[in-house]
């Protein structure tokens, strides 16, 4: 029998990562034994998603794999991100990792960015959901018994009522036509709290909804800062395990 490829998975804590991880494990060619998550160290929350660290840790315990976190500053530049990520990837490579997984679906520039950054380290990228229809993906997610809640939305595309909602058939039917069913363009982010990859559901209660504005990361070749982007976040409060 061929030896399985030593693999880590880039874990966002959301639905696409959960489903992609599920499929990568099912393939049987990869030994997925480590998860990697970017954190905003200043806020002590998952980057972009705004999920509390202790809820992430509960989720990881339910998955049953060790976690590495990428600790980013409050408003990281691309240079900050690349430098911190490079250090973590070098460490993973030194531990024998040859492959990694992502939950990306159709953003060509993002896939190219990931592959170009990891190529010098000899790490091969895998995208289990790549180019699949996003309506099909979200339907499969629900049918498999996964459960997720929307914890972040872009305010210019979705109104406040969508944050804090469960990912279900009603949610899919209610989103406007210019919003991807999986939020692949960054329209919304989720927290996956139950499903076939978890040993038990992650328990939480709904907290307050808050509005925040952030500047998109500035590239090194830009002369001016990017405009601010508005987001609604739904805070999730951990409950006793």
pTM: 0.92
Question: What pLDDT does 228 receive?
Answer: 82
Q: Concatenated DSSP letters for 152-213?
A: EEETTTS-GGGTT-B-SHHHHHHS-TTS-TT-TTSSEEEEEEESTT-SSPPPEEEEEEEEEE
pLDDT score recorded for residue 69: 96
Low-confidence ranges of the chain (pLDDT < 50): none
Give the tokens for residue 135.
């309506």
Bridge partner list, 238: 204
- Per-residue model confidence (pLDDT) at position 222: 52
CB 71 within 8 A of CB 58: no
Asked if 125 and 30 touch (Cβ cutoff 8 Å), the reply is no
Residue-level pLDDT at 65:
97
What is the structure's pLDDT at 84?
92
pLDDT value at position 77?
85
Homologous superfamily (CATH) for 5-238: HUPs (3.40.50.620)
């Amino acid at each position: 029998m061929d030896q399985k490829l030593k693999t880590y998975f880039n874990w966002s804590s959301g639905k696409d990562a959960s489903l992609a991880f599920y499929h990568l494990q099912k393939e049987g060619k990869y030994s997925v034994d480590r998860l990697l998550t970017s954190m905003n160290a200043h806020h002590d929350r998952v980057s972009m998603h705004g999920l509390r660290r202790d809820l992430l840790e509960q989720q990881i315990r339910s998955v049953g794999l060790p976690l590495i976190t990428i600790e980013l500053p409050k408003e990281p530049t691309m240079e900050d991100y690349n430098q911190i990520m490079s250090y973590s990837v070098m460490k993973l490579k030194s531990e024998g990792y040859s492959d990694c997984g992502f939950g990306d679906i159709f953003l060509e520039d993002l896939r190219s960015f990931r592959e170009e950054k990891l190529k010098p380290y000899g790490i091969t990228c895998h995208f289990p959901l790549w180019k699949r229809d996003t309506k099909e993906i979200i339907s499969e997610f629900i049918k498999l018994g996964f459960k997720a809640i929307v914890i972040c939305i872009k305010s210019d595309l979705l109104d406040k009522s969508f944050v804090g909602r469960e990912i279900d058939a009603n949610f899919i039917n209610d989103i406007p036509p210019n919003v991807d069913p999986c939020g692949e363009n960054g329209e919304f982010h989720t927290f996956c709290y139950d499903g076939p990859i978890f040993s038990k559901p992650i328990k939480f209660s709904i907290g307050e909804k808050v509005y925040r504005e952030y500047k998109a990361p500035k590239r090194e070749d830009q002369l001016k800062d990017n405009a601010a982007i508005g987001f609604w976040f739904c805070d999730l409060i951990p409950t006793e395990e």
